A = this chain, B = another copy of it.
């Protein structure tokens, strides 16, 4: 299985903050793997909220490749790096990296492919031109 393609931190310009919850730990005493999907989702939404000043962006997650680097904990402040890697016609890819702020330790990295869709018809649609321009300005794509 190929590792996710995640640029080094210096090239990930956007950083979201999130807090893990005590109940995010499972009975192995570590952050349950499903919680990372929520952390990446929070970063993705913060990235677009920051760019677009709207609270919602109509995309669906099409694929994600996640590498678990070190065991995570509940009750921690984390920073999630987020960058857009490629902008296609109807889809784009992003990369994420979750870092525990207290220890500086990376917990997980991921790559994801998102598809733009029309929520009224559920059909794929091209990425809006203005979004394309804004993302290009942010991440140089």
Given pairs A28-B60, A33-B64, A34-B35, 6 additional interface contacts (CB within 8 A):
A22-B42, A33-B41, A45-B75, A61-B68, A63-B67, A65-B65
Check A50 for interface membership: any CB of B closer than 8 A: no
Cross-interface CB contact of A34 among B19, B30, B37, B65, cutoff 8 Å = B37
Cross-interface CB contact of A26 among B1, B27, B36, B65, cutoff 8 Å = B27
Within 8 A of B (CB), among A30-61: 30, 32-38, 41-42, 45, 55, 60-61
Check A113 for interface membership: any CB of B closer than 8 A: yes
Q: Which residues of B contact A26 (CB under 8 A)?
A: 22-23, 25-27
B38 touches A34 (CB 8 A): yes
Binding site for B on A (CB under 8 A): 1-5, 18-19, 21-23, 25-30, 32-38, 41-42, 45, 55, 60-68, 71, 74-75, 93, 111, 113, 119, 122
A38 touches B21 (CB 8 A): yes
Q: Which residues of B contact A29 (CB under 8 A)?
A: 27
Smallest Cβ-Cβ distance to A119: which chain B residue: B28
Q: Which residues of B contact A45 (CB under 8 A)?
A: 22, 75
Cross-interface CB contact of A23 among B4, B22, B34, B68, cutoff 8 Å = B34
